[in-house]
Chains A and B, each alone.
Chain A
Amino acid sequence: MNLTRRSFLKLAGATAAAATLTGVGLRKASASTGEPLRIRFTKEINTTCTYCGVGCGIICNVRDGVIVNAEGDPDHPINEGTLCSKGASIFNMSYIFDEKGKPRLNPNRLTRVLYRAPGASDYETVDWDWALEEIAKRIKDTRDRTLVETETVNGQQVTVNRTNAINWLGSAWCTGEENYLFHKMVRAMGVINVDHCARL
């Protein structure tokens, strides 16, 4: 990590330490050093925090397609402008800041589709099309061999159309629309092993 303690403090200001002073803290830090506001020339986009179940409103300040600042949305009825330490540093997942305050991509973010072959000691980079086609083949191969079509229940042959050979996990991190489509895909595959962090 190429971030010194000093630049961390200068840039983050009170963000991390004093949750309720997030916005104010940043402005004060900037004013005292005579630097222009970090949110100057930015576009404001309202979004919802992705961490706990409180559902705080966040304003993202975006410049050149990059979030350069996030702070609590003062119009939001639940958090009224405040955020916790996680919420206030939300964009750290994409960009971290070097000593000059320039955003650079978080090196641990995944940006490529990866494949690890049996017995391999590393991944190879592959493209989406190849990966999705190969995954479809794996699902089909497993499902076609393991799908239980019928079962005898109380002396009667009934259709059950299920497989116990595939597990699906997740996710509370994803949106409602995503989870709805996951559910459709799960049931279409005949999958019955399905769970997410509500129980995990």
Chain B
Amino acid sequence: MTNHWNDYQHSDVIMAIGGNTAENHPISMKWIEKARETRGAKLITVDPRYCRTAAVSDVYVPLRPGTNIAYLGGLINYILQNNRYHEEYVKHYTNASFLIDENYDFDAQTGLFTGAEDDPVRNATKYNMEDWQYQTDDDGEILKDPDLEDPNCAFQLLKKHFAPYSIENVSKMTGAPEDVLEESYELFSSTGEAAKAGNILYAMGITQFTHGAQNTRAIAIAQLLLGNMGIAGGGVNAQRGQSNVQGATDMAMLYHIIPGYNPTPQQTQPTLQDYLDATTPEDNWWSNRPKYIVSLLKAFYGDNATLANDYGYEWLPKLDGLDHSHIPAYKYMRDGEVEGLICVADNPLVGGSSSRAKMDYQKNLKWLVSIDVVENETAAFWKGPGMNPAEIDTEVFILPACAAYERDGEKANSGRWIQWQYKAQDPPGDAKSDLWIVNEMFKKLQALYEAEGGTVPEQITRMHWDYDDENGDIDIVKVCKEINGYNTVTGELVTNFVGLEDDGTTACGNWLYSGYYNNLENPACKRRIREKEGLGFHQEWAFAWPLNRRNVYNRASCDPEGKPWNPDAPVIWWDENEERWVGNDVPDIPGTWTLEQSTENPFIMLPEGVGRLYSIGYQGVGGLRCGPFPTHYEPADSPVPNLLYPNATYSPTSQRFYENHTVETDEERERYPYVATTYRLVEHYQSGSVTRNQPWLNEMMPEMFVEISEEHAEELGISNGDTVLIESLRLYNNGEQGHIEAKACVTKRIQPLMINGEKKHIVGMPFHWGFMGMSTGDSANDLTPSVGDPNTTIPEYKAFLCNIRRA
């Protein structure tokens, strides 16, 4: 989230798209309701189902799963065609005026941008981005047209790119009625007025697609055009589904990054200097990268990290240029390359895509370690449906872990508030905290390598690991200090990341968290002081990264002279007497900058200094693999051709791993005629391993079901409560069609949609069930495809084709 939960109260129009706030983040509705009560705010919900959020909305827009770019492209087009954008903001704070290479183009005939090439490694399309770059003069300065009239400026290219996204076309693609589309566009674009705030909320209904990253980009473009970034009540707000999914991402439990959103070193960067040269831009914030990386290496390797040995850089594993996220990692398991799986409070056999197939792949494991509070499906795969334990040689270690309230530690919520989770009771029996478990597990491994040596033992033995207290138990404060950062000479904690150095005199495990635990008496993340009056930023409640800033990009909340666009909710402003930024939040601008510098660089995380309407990698920062602008492509499993670009049905750059895995032929489209999506319920949590073992929650939501429309049910002869079978191509093996079972929930919440003149049925399923626990049921993810976004490889869970029949 660029903003935070309490900040919703300042919005004038809120759009919930690809997220069901009332069901999945129910308490945050309080702040939407407050905006409605105090400001007369309006709520728009865009969702395939008339979900709980839709039920309390002012405008409900139905749409076919997988057509978010069509809808958002229509919004962008409406804003541009009707001059609804915030002109001064767009001119000063975005790259609208930047001139783009004259060779750049998008070809509607092929559905491809300039520079498309075959990618034999991935068996897909990739782009040579040479012709996508900014035009520069001889000194390397970017050429601009401040009037936004040059046909090659980003603004004109944006206009051209989205011109086909007319309301008529969007209606044909999404199935949303034209008048509803217009009403929602008119309402949301009213926030292009300087003093108005528009807020876009989303969740996995935006990200979990083969075009998920571009869905998010489309939101960002709309928000930049309307001047909604940086202001109170605005923002691009990803509502996180788990209590610390933000924090686990900050700590880089992902193959492609190391803590603090630094890229994982590649084999093409064999030395620290190679790495820094490739990833450090000349200007703005990431020019500090060397300080963060050297401090990270000092935290990792301690005294073993010296200038002479590149601070231990060679011990960090280098990537091979291939994808190592969970879909390909399971494919490597299928191919016998992966021998061991360590799974911590994760349950991919319910929560992962094509989960039934994954169960078979796990048979190839030599060993599996599951750390969880219950025996989940991933751990129990060897006795799952259709499995013969006698034939499965996998050794399984199950380590009993703590419930959340049985251990201490910080968790970062969606608004980046780092709050302390206090231990309230001891865990039962031999159960231990994950912190204790990882500490003991690594100490044992380190001791083994110390005693016996092995392959590159230094990679393990030189890792700094000293977290025991005097009793040999884990001391969490030692971990907190290392994450916060300290001076390696004096041992003193650093105040924040401004104090980090690139000469080995500071160690810091995660620069973004620097400041969260900068004193032992009253650590910032444990503060509990509510503000008495103000905008609800609660500066003394917990700590928000970075630097306790609550709304990021807040420089853009003011006009070029430093006056708030909306004087009623001023985030920060320029104090002419003191000649510095002051206000209700920590300014997102270095304290030493002049007003002019801050006006030229309101988006300090980007080397250009301004928001990207047109997005490419520039000076090693950002950019997407699938094009500078979002483009409507159908999901991998699609019932219709691409209306706008018939020769490019699905995203040509998307990540595909398996043959015959998604619907390609008309015969298959007939076999699986219905468009399906998955979602969550308030009573259950993710793969359900925790909540399906709780009697109260099971009593409220006891079993797996599938929602179908009344019309659809009548066509199929299905009554409410009947058991039905659901099939997809993922369960079709060697001519045999597998299925999952669910109770039919016949409902008005889902309606068939007219897609380009043809009626298409939509179905919805929760994905919480599996074969273990007190409440068992089939997993919706047995049906979902393992295809991924070209940038993130997030699977396409939210749009696929299925068939339904009576049991």
User: In chain A, residues 136-187, which have Cβ atoms closer than 8 Å to a Cβ of chain B?
Assistant: 136-140, 142-147, 149, 151, 153-154, 156, 158-187
The interface on chain A, measured as residues whose beta carbon lies within 8 A of the other chain's beta carbons, has a size of: 128
Closest to A193 in B: B329
User: In chain B, residues 662-712, which have Cβ atoms closer than 8 Å to a Cβ of chain A?
Assistant: 682-686, 690-691, 693-697, 699-700
Q: Are B690's CB and A138's CB within 8 A?
A: no
Q: How far is the CA of A132 from the CA of B440 in the complex (A)?
A: 7
Report the stretch among B90-98, B149-157, B158-166, B442-450 that lies at the interface.
B442-450
Return B583 CB to nearest CB of chain A, in Å. Answer: 19
Provide the residues of chain B in CB contact with A146, threshold 8 Å. Answer: 339
Q: How far is the CA of A9 from the CA of B802 in the complex (A)?
A: 39
Provide the residues of chain A in CB contact with B345, threshold 8 Å. Answer: 170-174
Q: Is A189 located at the chain interface by the 8 A CB criterion? A: yes
Q: How far is the CA of A123 from the CA of B531 in the complex (A)?
A: 53
Q: Which of A55, A90, A128, A198 contacts B432 (CB 8 A)?
A: A128
Closest to A88 in B: B696
Provide the residues of chain B in CB contact with A117, threshold 8 Å. Answer: 395
Give per-residue flags for B230-243: 1 if the beta carbon is below 8 A from chain A beta carbons, else 0: 00000000011111
Return A14 CB to nearest CB of chain B, in Å. Answer: 12
Provide the residues of chain A in CB contact with B373, threshold 8 Å. Answer: 93, 109-110
Q: Are A86's CB and B693's CB within 8 A?
A: no
Report the stretch among B26-34, B112-120, B140-148, B573-581 that lies at the interface.
B26-34
Closest to A105 in B: B428
Q: Are A77's CB and B541's CB within 8 A?
A: yes
Q: Which of A149, A159, A189 contacts B460 (CB 8 A)?
A: A189
User: In chain B, residues 327-377, which have Cβ atoms closer than 8 Å to a Cβ of chain A?
Assistant: 329-330, 332-333, 337-346, 348, 351-352, 366-367, 369, 371-375
Q: Is the interface of A mostly helix, strand, loop or mixed?
A: mixed
User: In chain B, residues 263-305, which have Cβ atoms closer than 8 Å to a Cβ of chain A?
Assistant: 264, 267-268, 270, 300
Return B223 CB to nearest CB of chain A, in Å. Answer: 20
Q: Are A113's CB and B344's CB within 8 A?
A: no
Q: How far is the CA of A128 from the CA of B369 in the complex (A)?
A: 13
Provide the residues of chain B in CB contact with A79, threshold 8 Å. Answer: 27, 30
Q: Are A188's CB and B242's CB within 8 A?
A: no
Q: Are A84's CB and B682's CB within 8 A?
A: yes
Q: Is B59 located at the chain interface by the 8 A CB criterion? A: no
Q: Are B254's CB and A92's CB within 8 A?
A: no
Closest to A92 in B: B694
Q: Is B605 located at the chain interface by the 8 A CB criterion? A: no
Q: Are B248's CB and A179's CB within 8 A?
A: yes
Return A150 CB to nearest CB of chain B, in Å. Answer: 9
Q: Are A158's CB and B454's CB within 8 A?
A: no
Closest to A192 in B: B324
Provide the residues of chain A in CB contact with B28, threshold 8 Å. Answer: 54, 78
Q: How far is the CA of A174 from the CA of B431 in the complex (A)?
A: 15
Q: Is B419 located at the chain interface by the 8 A CB criterion? A: yes
Q: Are A192's CB and B693's CB within 8 A?
A: no
Q: Are A55's CB and B428's CB within 8 A?
A: no
Q: How far is the CA of A138 from the CA of B690 in the complex (A)?
A: 28
Question: Contacts A114-B397, A158-B318, A167-B333 known; A177 to B5 CB distance under 8 Å?
Answer: no
Q: Are A55's CB and B431's CB within 8 A?
A: no
Question: Contacts A83-B27, A86-B697, A116-B396 known; A143 to B455 CB distance under 8 Å?
Answer: yes
Provide the residues of chain B in CB contact with A30, threshold 8 Å. Answer: none
Provide the residues of chain A in CB contact with B329, threshold 8 Å. Answer: 167, 193, 195
Provide the residues of chain A in CB contact with B382, threshold 8 Å. Answer: 116
Most chain A beta carbons < 10 A, residue from B28, B258, B480, B792: B28
Q: Is B479 located at the chain interface by the 8 A CB criterion? A: yes
Q: Are B693's CB and A106's CB within 8 A?
A: yes
Provide the residues of chain B in CB contact with A109, threshold 8 Å. Answer: 373-374, 400, 428-429, 431, 693
Q: Are A187's CB and B300's CB within 8 A?
A: yes
Q: How far is the CA of A186 from the CA of B452 in the complex (A)?
A: 20
Provide the residues of chain B in CB contact with A167, threshold 8 Å. Answer: 326, 329-330, 332-333, 338, 340-342
Q: Is B106 located at the chain interface by the 8 A CB criterion? A: no
Q: Which of B319, B406, B420, B685 contacts A48 (CB 8 A)?
A: B420
Question: Contacts A75-B530, A86-B697 known; A147 to B456 CB distance under 8 Å?
Answer: yes
Q: Is A131 located at the chain interface by the 8 A CB criterion? A: yes
Return A187 CB to nearest CB of chain B, in Å. Answer: 6
Provide the residues of chain A in CB contact with B413, threshold 8 Å. Answer: 53-55, 78
Return A33 CB to nearest CB of chain B, in Å. Answer: 19
Q: Are B400's CB and A93's CB within 8 A?
A: no
Closest to B406 in A: A94
Q: Are B424's CB and A140's CB within 8 A?
A: no
Q: How far is the CA of A183 from the CA of B329 in the complex (A)?
A: 17
Q: Is B391 located at the chain interface by the 8 A CB criterion? A: yes
Q: Are A161's CB and B326's CB within 8 A?
A: no
Q: Are A200's CB and B258's CB within 8 A?
A: no
Q: Are B410's CB and A92's CB within 8 A?
A: no
Q: Are A183's CB and B696's CB within 8 A?
A: no
Q: Are A118's CB and B395's CB within 8 A?
A: yes
User: In chain B, residues 220-253, which have Cβ atoms closer than 8 Å to a Cβ of chain A?
Assistant: 239-253
Question: Contacts A193-B329, A197-B351 known; A108 to B247 CB distance under 8 Å?
Answer: no
Q: How far is the CA of A67 from the CA of B433 in the complex (A)?
A: 17
Q: How far is the CA of A123 from the CA of B657 in the complex (A)?
A: 34
Closest to B526 in A: A46
Q: Is A16 located at the chain interface by the 8 A CB criterion? A: yes
Provide the residues of chain B in CB contact with A26, threshold 8 Å. Answer: none
Q: Which of A53, A91, A112 contacts B429 (CB 8 A)?
A: A112
Return A151 CB to nearest CB of chain B, in Å. Answer: 5
Report the stretch among B127-135, B309-317, B586-594, B737-745 that lies at the interface.
B309-317
Q: Are A110's CB and B431's CB within 8 A?
A: yes
Give per-residue flags for B379-402: 1 if the beta carbon is below 8 A from chain A beta carbons, else 0: 000110000011111111111110
Q: Is A80 located at the chain interface by the 8 A CB criterion? A: yes
Provide the residues of chain B in CB contact with A87, threshold 8 Å. Answer: 27
Question: Contacts A8-B695, A167-B342, A198-B245 known; A177 to B410 CB distance under 8 Å?
Answer: yes
Provide the residues of chain B in CB contact with A151, threshold 8 Å. Answer: 267, 318, 320
Return B299 CB to nearest CB of chain A, in Å. Answer: 9
Q: Are B318's CB and A162's CB within 8 A?
A: yes
Q: Is B407 located at the chain interface by the 8 A CB criterion? A: yes
Provide the residues of chain B in CB contact with A145, threshold 8 Å. Answer: 455
Q: How far is the CA of A119 from the CA of B351 in the complex (A)?
A: 26
User: In chain B, residues 402-428, which have Cβ atoms closer than 8 Å to a Cβ of chain A?
Assistant: 403-415, 417-428
Q: Are A190's CB and B317's CB within 8 A?
A: yes
Provide the residues of chain B in CB contact with A149, threshold 8 Å. Answer: 455-456
Q: Are A119's CB and B455's CB within 8 A?
A: no
Q: Which of B367, B427, B513, B538 contacts A176 (CB 8 A)?
A: B513
Return A107 CB to nearest CB of chain B, in Å. Answer: 9
Question: Contacts A121-B390, A154-B268 known; A172 to B395 CB distance under 8 Å?
Answer: no
Return A124 CB to nearest CB of chain B, in Å. Answer: 11
Q: Are A165's CB and B340's CB within 8 A?
A: yes
Q: Are A178's CB and B424's CB within 8 A?
A: no
Q: How far is the CA of A53 from the CA of B248 in the complex (A)?
A: 12
Provide the residues of chain B in CB contact with A66, threshold 8 Å. Answer: 425
Q: Are B332's CB and A128's CB within 8 A?
A: no
Q: Which of B252, B407, B440 contacts A175 (CB 8 A)?
A: B407
Most chain B beta carbons < 10 A, residue from A54, A57, A83, A123: A54
Closest to A163 in B: B317
Q: How far is the CA of A145 from the CA of B455 in the complex (A)?
A: 8
Q: Are B400's CB and A112's CB within 8 A?
A: yes
Provide the residues of chain A in CB contact with B206, threshold 8 Å. Answer: none
Q: Is B438 located at the chain interface by the 8 A CB criterion? A: yes
Provide the residues of chain A in CB contact with B243, threshold 8 Å. Answer: 48-53, 55, 172-173
Provide the residues of chain B in CB contact with A165, threshold 8 Å. Answer: 337-340
Provide the residues of chain A in CB contact with B452, threshold 8 Å. Answer: 140
Q: Is A3 located at the chain interface by the 8 A CB criterion? A: yes
A-B contact pairs, 7 of them (CB 8 A): A50-B405, A83-B27, A112-B400, A153-B268, A170-B344, A179-B253, A187-B258
Q: A54-B25, A176-B247 are in contact. List 4 more A-B contacts (CB 8 A).
A: A85-B683, A108-B374, A131-B399, A143-B454
Enumerate the 4 nearest inter-chain pairs by beta-carbon distance, A residue then B residue, closest first: A111-B429, A175-B409, A53-B240, A55-B413
